[in-house]
Structure 1
Amino acid sequence: MLNGKTAVVTGGSRGIGEAIVYKLASMGANIAVIYAGNAAAAEKVCKKCGQSYSVEARAYQCNVADFSAVKEAVVKIRADFGAVQFLVNNAGITHDGLLAMMKEEDFDAVLDTNLKGAFNMIRHMTGLFIRAREGCIINITSVSGMMGNAGQCNYSASKAGLIGLTKSVAKELAPKGIRCNAVAPGFIATDMTGNQTDNPLLDMIPLGKMGEPEDVADAVAYLATAKYVTGEVLRVDGGIAM
């Protein structure tokens, strides 16, 4: 379905990003995995892509919050893969805390990675998409950006901003044949969410359980192939944000 295409996935070495990498690879896409620090994990993901799905996968270390570093990474990816058709902005961090006690650096770090990081990637990859008159951008936001979450003002703000970025990019790039959508996960079982079995918010999920990274990956796969969908925010949340 995506044979001969290339997808860039940020934060692709673990959790939701890893599941997205495997899903797109299973559809035939070559993969550029961008990771922050764990080279061994990223290389392991790339190795599995080759062994299990017979696609080319390469890892690139990059701090997505760094504008210049992202530019350099995109140049390398273009040199290695040539044309790139898909970008999944999944890289994200949390520094939770109550607003009254939150440190400025914790607020800035989350916005820099989650929101500015997505901007940096889109900014430097747009030229590739425009020249090819083809491109699909999928931003991983969160229901926290739609409904807020106490103790996560920085994270919620970053994810709400990502929704606005998605819609603006979709309108701006649609005439160039480039689509931009977002996926908004709810409570997904990953290392980042940790043990949530006692979280009272679980009682608010109509489906009564946490989601899996593969649930988010399935939504990404849909948006990657939905050629008449742009500017959409697809919730994968068990109904919590209805």
Structure 2
Amino acid sequence: MDINISNDVFSATGLVTVVTGGGSGIGLAIAAALAKNGATKVYVLGRRIEALNEAVKAIAASEGVVVPIICDVSNPFTVNTAVEQIQNEIGYVDVLINNAGVSGPDHRGVYAASSITELQDIMLSSWPGWATTFAINTTSVVGVSASFLPLLDAANARKGWETGKLEPGGKPRVKKEVEGMDNSDMRTSQIITIASISAFNRIVTAGLAYGASKAGAVQLAKILATLLGPWGIRSNVVAPGIFPSEMTAGAPSEFPCDKIPAGRQGNFEEMSGTILYMVGKAGGYLNGNVQVVDGGRLGQMPATY
């Protein structure tokens, strides 16, 4: 057993990555972590070009490393346009991070309802908003992931991995040595879906649609791990608690220990470390995994996790 581990096991060195919703909040933190830790390319996708351009400036990486692309993950045309641009520019993607999300209709008022009809009104008030919430938070996990499959497959081939589907009971996937590549690197391509601990808790902390849509995203990511495993593409999940973002702008910075044992929101350093573990060599054996990063919050509320 070789115990002389290199110091780059938590590194994004040489990776081509895509981050949806990369213009702000957790997506911006992820993009910055990748760019500042060796990624060859970090494509940041989002609907607002102003936010994307500001993200590029804020990250301040070497010119050309962070590339903004306008993309609405609920719109197949813009997703395909983004895929075509990346195909033409570099031709492969090592890591796709499904981060884009919306909070959806706010249902926190359900606990203040004083009559059954008032509760009914609150629950029905934003019914049409559910479709948009699910389109972005849930359906896009399948649509975007499927759209990038050829580029994820191409990244495996570039590293010398045998491509195609392995049959049950057959031999393991073969990796050939490739000149100029780190042939000791056993990572295969990966999809990471950023969900939320709202996928697991049973208290309405934002909206009914938000929690349900994130639960759907987690389940889809698990299904993708099983579905894509024979194709050499991995799928994992990050379920954050409260981190600084547009969605949590009104949340306090400190919490009593019976709400969050850590007593605070998470910080971007902690989110960055989680991502660098997952995309680095250290995370090469992860598949179908859910990383909860919440300061212990789920342990303090009714939850299914």
TM-score (norm 1): 0.91
SS in 1 for 2:217: helix
Which residue in the other structure is 1:179 paired with? 234
Structure 1 residue 144 and structure 2 residue 154: aligned? Answer: no
Paired with 2:35 and 2:13, the residues of 1 have a C-alpha distance of 9
Show CA shifts across 1:3-58 (max 9, x none): 33210000101111100001011121111110112x12212322454x44566221
Distance apart, 1:101 and its partner CA: 3.0
The partner residue of 2:71 within 53, 56, 62 is: 62
Which residue in the other structure is 2:17 paired with? 7
Which residue in the other structure is 1:234 paired with? 291
Moved more, 143-152 or 231-240: 143-152
Q: What stretches of structure 2 of length at least 5 have no aligned partner? A: 1-10, 108-121, 157-187, 300-305
Which residue in the other structure is 2:50 paired with? 40
Letter in 2 for 1:143: I
Structure 1 residue 167 and structure 2 residue 176: aligned? Answer: no
Distance apart, 1:200 and its partner CA: 7.6
Paired with 1:127 and 1:102, the residues of 2 have a C-alpha distance of 41
Checking the alignment, whether the CA contact within 8 Å between 1:20 and 1:214 is kept in structure 2 is no
Letter in 2 for 1:187: I
Distance apart, 1:64 and its partner CA: 0.2
SS in 2 for 1:88: strand
Checking the alignment, whether the CA contact within 8 Å between 1:189 and 1:210 is kept in structure 2 is yes
Which residue in the other structure is 2:96 paired with? 87
Checking the alignment, whether the CA contact within 8 Å between 2:91 and 2:154 is kept in structure 1 is no
Paired with 1:214 and 1:191, the residues of 2 have a C-alpha distance of 18
SS in 2 for 1:147: coil
Moved more, 147-156 or 59-68: 147-156
Q: What RMSD in Å do the two structures reach over aligned CA positions?
A: 2.1
Checking the alignment, whether the CA contact within 8 Å between 1:28 and 1:53 is kept in structure 2 is no
The partner residue of 1:153 within 185, 191, 208 is: 208
- The number of residue pairs the alignment matches comes to 240
Distance apart, 1:193 and its partner CA: 0.5
Show CA shifts across 1:134-160 (max 9, x none): 411110000000113315110011110
Q: Percent identity?
A: 31
Structure 1 residue 114 and structure 2 residue 125: aligned? Answer: no
Higher helix share: 1
SS in 2 for 1:3: coil
Paired with 2:77 and 2:97, the residues of 1 have a C-alpha distance of 19
The partner residue of 1:195 within 250, 273, 298 is: 250
SS in 1 for 2:285: coil
Checking the alignment, whether the CA contact within 8 Å between 1:202 and 1:210 is kept in structure 2 is no
Letter in 2 for 1:190: S
SS in 1 for 2:128: helix
Change (3 A) 1:71 1:201: farther
Change (3 A) 1:198 1:232: closer
Distance apart, 1:80 and its partner CA: 1.7
Letter in 2 for 1:31: V
Paired with 2:250 and 2:58, the residues of 1 have a C-alpha distance of 27
